[in-house]
Chains A and B, each alone.
Chain A
Amino acid sequence: MASRVQQLILGLGKNKQANIATASSSFLRFKKLDTSLTTPKPVFENDAAEIGKGHEFITQTFPSHYEVANRLEKYASAEFVTWAAAYGLGNIVQTGSAAPYAYTITPLNPGTTLELPYFSVVEQVAEGGGNSIDNLYIGCAVEDFLYQFNYGPGRQSSKMTVNWVGSGLLTTPSGITVPALTVENNMLAASMALSVNGTDYVATKRILSGSIGWKNNLLLNAGFFPGSGLQNGLQVRGRMEIGARVPAFQFTARLLYGSPEYNTLVAQTTGTAALTVQHDANNAVTFTFQQMAFQTAENAEADGIVAVTVTGAPQYNATNGVLTVTTQCGISGIAQ
């Protein structure tokens, strides 16, 4: 017998871990689009390059460390975007005593901490009366997230991708009972409101596609510090700190007579960029770049229509920082 990849049961930690080594106590079960299964990779060194053996071949191997990482590609639901932004940015305020709960999310202030909230990931695949995969990855952090929107029908018009990295800590079998699938409220791009530097790109029907991203550039090697810990004789990370973080914003819009992008670029005019998508009034997400100039504005085409692709240069605003994500969804306690 064998198992199909659709049997994957994927659970992501809902509440943040108390520390990098203590697993989340509650999980959200999500569907995803990519078929990648997480692999716990024990890394071994060898002595092939060492001299004195009389030859160039391996005579011995040595345990080094664990590497754990994977990606989550999903249609953008209010629930998953909230999860991704909360764990990807790090400072979360949740309000509301009943659904819908409101989340206000900003990047960590590195003057207070360099560590994002950690979460656990559980993957299970049933096979032959048991599980061919049943792993709990403990101490995981978001390396980057990317929200993408596109013209065209259906859920593909609004997607969210997350890359995450694990500390290497692993429990097999997981011992986790993953809850039922989370009811997700997908947010189609057709619901979008987009205003960039004072221009409403939806009202003029110009906007075609774009993306909003955040990359933490986690300091992964620094996680293997003296005393960081061992598992099966291999090193595991005892911390994962943010590196030089990079926000990103790009969009493509139809180019019209009088379109302001080139002048905005040349003048280096700054303003806010706010993108809202929603499923309904209770399930919505708004990304706000608090201050942004344009980095490039390049002429392009889409389906034969002349367009302009703008790459933004998000700036730090002294009062409001770089990026704010506000969400509403029916799930309480994400990254709390």
Chain B
Amino acid sequence: MEDPKEAVAAPARAAAPETVKLRHPHTQETVEVEATAAALVPYMVQGYEQVRPENPA
């Protein structure tokens, strides 16, 4: 049986936010940003593209 004290003591593990790897096609600089529009768009506007299997970083 589960020890209730242990259950309380165990910290809840929050799910890590999904991230996306982006790369600039000219400079090849890569960044990893949170998968939200607010985080992605400023990079996408500069030309950063998603790193995909066919264009691995």
Q: How far is the CA of A92 from the CA of B41 in the complex (A)?
A: 10
CB <8 Å contact, A94 and B50: yes
Q: Indicate the size class of the contact surface on chain B.
A: 10 to 19
In the bound complex, residues from chain B placing their C-beta under 8 Å from that of A276 are none
Q: How far is the CA of A320 from the CA of B22 in the complex (A)?
A: 16
CB <8 Å contact, B50 and A109: no
CB <8 Å contact, B52 and A336: yes
In the bound complex, residues from chain A placing their C-beta under 8 Å from that of B25 are 112-113
Give a binary string over A65-98; 1 marks a CB under 8 Å from any B CB, 0 the rest: 0000000000000000000000000011111100
Known contacts being A112-B25, A112-B26, A336-B52, is A104 close to B45, with CB within 8 Å?
no
In the bound complex, residues from chain A placing their C-beta under 8 Å from that of B26 are 111-112
Nearest residue, chain B, Cβ from A113: B25
Q: Which of A95, A102, A106 contacts B44 (CB 8 A)?
A: A106
Nearest residue, chain B, Cβ from A89: B44
Q: How far is the CA of A111 from the CA of B35 in the complex (A)?
A: 24
In the bound complex, residues from chain B placing their C-beta under 8 Å from that of A106 are 41, 44-45
CB <8 Å contact, B49 and A91: yes
Q: Indicate the size class of the contact surface on chain A.
A: 20 to 34
Give a binary string over B39-56; 1 marks a CB under 8 Å from any A CB, 0 the rest: 011101111011010000
CB <8 Å contact, B50 and A321: no
Q: Is A250 interfacial (CB 8 A cutoff)?
A: no
CB <8 Å contact, B47 and A320: no
Nearest residue, chain A, Cβ from B24: A112
Nearest residue, chain A, Cβ from B19: A95
In the bound complex, residues from chain A placing their C-beta under 8 Å from that of B40 are 93, 104
Residues 1 to 56 of chain B near chain A (Cβ within 8 Å): 18, 20, 22, 24-26, 35, 37, 40-42, 44-47, 49-50, 52
Give a binary string over A295-336; 1 marks a CB under 8 Å from any B CB, 0 the rest: 000000000000000000000000111001010000000001
Known contacts being A113-B25, A336-B52, is A93 close to B20, with CB within 8 Å?
yes
Q: Which of B20, B42, B46, B47 contacts A95 (CB 8 A)?
A: B20
Known contacts being A92-B50, A93-B20, A112-B25, is A326 close to B45, with CB within 8 Å?
no
Q: How far is the CA of A314 from the CA of B31 in the complex (A)?
A: 29
CB <8 Å contact, A104 and B41: yes
Nearest residue, chain B, Cβ from A316: B45
In the bound complex, residues from chain A placing their C-beta under 8 Å from that of B50 are 92-94
Q: How far is the CA of A111 from the CA of B47 in the complex (A)?
A: 7
Nearest residue, chain A, Cβ from B52: A336
Q: How far is the CA of A46 from the CA of B17 in the complex (A)?
A: 63
In the bound complex, residues from chain A placing their C-beta under 8 Å from that of B45 are 106, 109, 319-321
Q: How far is the CA of A146 from the CA of B39 in the complex (A)?
A: 27
CB <8 Å contact, A324 and B47: no
Interface positions of A (Cβ within 8 A of B): 91-96, 102, 104, 106, 108-109, 111-113, 288, 319-321, 324, 326, 336
Interface positions of B (Cβ within 8 A of A): 18, 20, 22, 24-26, 35, 37, 40-42, 44-47, 49-50, 52
User: Which 10 residue pairs across A and B have the least CB separation, nearest first?
Assistant: A109-B47, A112-B47, A321-B45, A95-B35, A106-B44, A93-B50, A104-B40, A326-B37, A104-B37, A91-B44
